[in-house]
Amino acid sequence: MNDKRTKRVDELLERLDQATVFDLGRPLRNGMAQSPNHPVFRHCLDRRHGDQIRADGGSAAADLLVTGCHVGTHVDALAHVSHQGMLHGGDSAAVAQEGGCFEVHGIHQLPPFVGRGKLLDIPALFNVDICAGGYEISVAELQAAATRQKITLQAGDAVLIRSGWGAHFDEPDLYRGRRSGVPGVGESAAKWLADQGVALVGADTLAFECIPAGRGHALLPAHRVLLVERGINIIETLDLDRLAKAEAYEFVFVLSHLNVYGATGAPARPLAIA
């Protein structure tokens, strides 16, 4: 049995040697773009070299992190959104959050994902780099992107949608898009994605939504459809530009998040292997 396993591991490693690994996560740093609805990310040196010196002259530095669970590249738990007081499956949100965490639908119930991933590059349909702020990506455009890229969405896929808006990540005010709006899918496209049987969805924006100019996160219909009605987790603030530039539209997708028991979401560092 060990010989067979060793051979299988060797074969997998040989295949990986021929592949490219794309890091789809954003670096976490002070002042980065994030939703104003969540605690501000803060990183600082809690202990500096020289604060304590060992007898042999050695010293160590250590850090402190303070962050919301929906800051930077992250994945939403099903507990993140309720509708009319109910979570996915008709569970009461009020009851589920008793005790200060979600025993039901918390992020700890989402296992690590290793499976097929698909990228739908929407700006490439129109020969532009970035979709306009507030632009709603339609079902027809999702279908057209799949056709153009010669891919077919399959049940169990992780589907990542590039709007190009990620190019604004280093300009926090613009990336948040309060004045300009943010491109993304609306309710109908979210329903269509769910109907394809996808396992996960993701985007290169703060919210997996079309956000009209000046509206902020007043309404989140795609979140309602995916998290509450269909039980599909959402990954946000992805870096998809390098993947699109390489035209790597189909890949092995790896998602492993911080396993924070009962949380409504967690930071993640997704990988695409193609």
Q: Is 28 exposed, middle or buried (0-12, 13-18, 19+ CB in 10 A)?
A: middle
Report the distance separating Cα 29 and Cα 54, nearest Å.
30
Q: Is-contact 272 249, C-beta < 8 A?
A: no
Residue 58 lies in a domain: no
Number of domains observed in the structure of the chain: 1
| CATH code for the domain in which residue 141 is found | 3.50.30.50
Asked if 186 contacts 223 with a C-beta cutoff of 8 angstroms, the reply is: no
Query: Is 227 within a domain?
Result: yes
pLDDT tens for 258-267 read 999 999 999 9
Structural domain contains residue 100: yes
35 Cβ contact partners less than 8 Å away, ≥ 6 residues apart: 70, 71, 176, 206, 207, 217
In a domain, 55, yes or no: no
Query: What are 268's strand-pairing partners?
Result: 257
pLDDT score at 1: 57
Residue 141 structural domain? 2-38+69-273
Q: Which residues of the chain have a pLDDT value below 70?
A: 1
Cα separation, 133 vs 210, in Å, equals 9
- Would you state the pLDDT for residue 135? 97
Note whether residue 249 is domain-resident: yes
Reported pTM:
0.95
264 in Cβ contact with 102 (< 8 Å): yes
Q: How many CB atoms lie within 10 A of CB 2?
A: 6
Domain membership of residue 191 (yes or no) is: yes
In a domain, 60, yes or no: no
pLDDT at 218: 75
pLDDT digits (tens, 9 = 90+) for 180-237: 999 999 999 999 999 999 999 999 999 999 999 977 777 899 999 999 999 999 999 9
Close Cβ partners of 217 (under 8 Å, ≥ 6 residues apart) = 35, 37, 207, 209, 211
Helix (H, G, I), strand (E, B) or coil at 194: helix
